[in-house]
Amino acid sequence: MSEYSYPDPWWLSGQLSRRRFLELTGLAALIVAGCGGQAEEAKGPGVPKTKFIKPSTKLSGDLRILMWSHFVPSHDKWFDPFAKDWGKRYGVNVTVDHIDTATVPTRVSAEIAAGKGHDLIQHIAPLPQFEPSVVDMSDVTEEAVKRYGKQLEICNKSSLNPTTRKFFAYSPGWVPDPGDYRKSKWKKAGFPDGPKSWDDLLKGGAEIKQKQKLALGIGLSQEIDSNMAMRALMYSYGASEQDATENVTINSPETVAAVEYMTKLFKQAMTDEVFAWNAASNNQGLISGELSYILNSISGYRTSQMANPDVAGDTAFVSALKGPKTALVTSHVMYNWITPKYSKSVDAAKEFLLHYTENFAQATANSQLYDFPAWSDRAPKLDEWLDKDPYKSRPADLLAVLKDATNWSTNVGHPGPSSAAIGEVFGTFVIPNMFAAAARGKKSPQEAVADAEGQMKAIFEKWKKRGLIGGGSA
């Protein structure tokens, strides 16, 4: 449980009322999501029609799918009938349930403990800690590689355990994590092209907060976006949780420097509400016009195009901010699909994943360019779409910054893999808690880092004893 309290989001008590905010975002969801029905082909140019490849074995029975409620609702409007149409063709009764992304890991734990539940589960971050209880996805990944070539490294390292040589999940896609900034606000602060470095973010963010009364929106809370943002900062400072062979390396001068920086950034450019952040907070703050910068995918921007066009027209994107060592972000979303060992529909689950991968261009288009493929040829028009957004960005090439996102994106656990130990560190929020403790003044940066190291060593040793990682606490 969190030690923090969770007040109403701060922007709802400012210029935009709670009722008006809900009206705006609710209207946008209705506009984007529509009202269900038959599977629809995306309207973007060059989106192929659904291709069906006959399964290698005869299928029957039920396939129960559990996944998050996508931040771009048009994806789910497409996905649910897409999955059911596949099932009807091959004799499988497919059902799809959507839940809040924050509740997926606990739901996985509960279903595994009960020995029953969904056959195929999707999460937006790696789930290596469940490896002992899930089906090895090596054969699915190998088949996809056979069909489409080499898997993107960021997805491979987020689904493969190099110690056991098992794929604890199947990873067919991911989502870049650019910086979303308000052009007019940053121009007034002397940064017409937005911040390019973490130093720019501190200098410009502090001035915007002081003179324009808009704060930065980077979470320091127990939720996924805070987990991702704090790792981006660490990696750009040359810090890491582990080395390439899975040994704990958190207690370093680079980590301390990153924590010292975030303490300054919080005090000069942010507000206490970031300690109460949830996965929707940065989106909501951008849409309402109350944040100058967020580290996030394009989902908030997509909603603002309909809910608050003035904000959408004033939003632009930058790639990973440069730190003292490099410029890296973690993938905003890293899709992990798992099948628990209790499932009686393993064959159907794996065949559906291959069908989904075959048609991933539809996932990209129906998510309005949110979902990127692990195999580039699965969305061959992606660069073209980013150069000329089919979903009415102005200017049309607003999203072109994402074309080289693989060059500035990495996996959770960099420079090592997303191991079972990293999965537990991620799931227990060790890293954002470390940064928050220093930012709140409860611990010095050195103390916060040392405490995180103690927690991580215990976690790593536990998983090493179970034979699921190759390093440890050394």
3-state helix/strand/coil string of 23-63: HHHHHHHHHHHCCCCCCCCCCCCCCCCCCCCCCCCCCCEEE
Q: At 329, give phi and psi (nearest 5°).
A: -130, 155
| Of residues 279, 234, 263, the one with CA closest to residue 410 | 234
Q: Are 140 and 131 in contact, with CB atoms under 8 Å apart? A: no
Supply 226's token pair.
């805070």
Q: How high is the pLDDT of residue 471?
A: 77
| Of residues 218, 255, 220, the one with CA closest to residue 239 | 255
Q: How high is the pLDDT of residue 43?
A: 55
Q: Where are the beta strands (DSSP E) in 115-259?
A: 120-123, 160-161, 166-167, 173-175, 179-182, 215-217
Q: How high is the pLDDT of residue 14?
A: 35
Lowest mean pLDDT among 30-34, 171-175, 231-235: 30-34
Task: Reply yes or no on whether the pLDDT at 339 is more than 80.
Answer: yes
Q: What is the pLDDT of residues 72-102, one digit of tens each?
A: 999 999 999 999 999 999 999 999 999 999 9
pTM: 0.89
Supply 217's token pair.
């929106």
Q: How high is the pLDDT of residue 18?
A: 35
Task: Reply yes or no on whether the pLDDT at 338 is more than 70.
Answer: yes
β-pairing, 291-295 with 336-338?
unpaired
Confidence at 46, pLDDT banded by 50, 70, 90: confident
Task: Reply yes or no on whether the pLDDT at 3 is more than 70.
Answer: no
Q: What is the pLDDT of residues 387-416, one digit of tens each?
A: 999 999 999 999 999 999 999 999 999 999
Q: Are 462 and 420 in contact, with CB atoms under 8 Å apart? A: no
Rounded to whole angstroms, the Cα distance separating 438 from 461 reads 26
Task: Reply yes or no on whether the pLDDT at 27 is more than 90.
Answer: no
Q: At 409, give phi and psi (nearest 5°).
A: -120, 145
Distances (CA, A) of 27 to 16, 31, 59, 315: 15, 6, 40, 20
CA atoms within a 13 Å half-sphere pointing along the CA-CB vector of 163: 22
Q: Are 294 and 217 in contact, with CB atoms under 8 Å apart? A: yes
Residues linked to residue 248 through DSSP beta bridges, in sequence order: 242
Q: What stretch of H or E contains 337?
A: strand 336-338
Rounded to whole angstroms, the Cα distance separating 410 from 426 reads 15
Residue range 342-358: mean pLDDT, rounded: 98
Lowest mean pLDDT among 19-28, 236-245, 274-283, 406-415: 19-28
* Segment 312-317 long-range contacts (CB within 8 Å, at least 24 positions apart): 313/394, 314/182, 314/183, 314/184, 314/185, 315/180, 315/181, 315/182, 315/183, 315/286, 316/180, 316/181, 316/183, 316/194, 316/398, 317/178, 317/179, 317/180, 317/181, 317/194, 317/398, 317/399, 317/401, 317/402
Residues linked to residue 63 through DSSP beta bridges, in sequence order: 94
Q: At 175, give phi and psi (nearest 5°).
A: -140, 125
Length of the chain: 474
| Of residues 233, 163, 150, the one with CA closest to residue 198 | 233
Q: How high is the pLDDT of residue 29?
A: 39
Rounded to whole angstroms, the Cα distance separating 16 from 288 reads 7
Q: How high is the pLDDT of residue 10?
A: 28
Confidence at 141, pLDDT banded by 50, 70, 90: very high
Confidence at 47, pLDDT banded by 50, 70, 90: confident
Taking each helix axis from N to C terminus, what angle separates 445-465 and 253-269, rounded to the nearest 10 degrees?
130
| Of residues 50, 310, 26, 329, the one with CA closest to residue 182 | 310
β-pairing, 160-161 with 166-167?
antiparallel
Residue range 56-62: mean pLDDT, rounded: 93
Q: How high is the pLDDT of residue 474?
A: 52
Task: Reply yes or no on whether the pLDDT at 20 is more than 60.
Answer: no
What is the set of domains in the chain, with CATH numbers?
33-174+333-390 (3.40.190.10), 176-331+411-465 (3.40.190.10)
End-to-end, the C-alpha distance of the chain in Å comes to: 29
Supply 341's token pair.
């060992």
CB atoms within 10 A of CB 197: 16
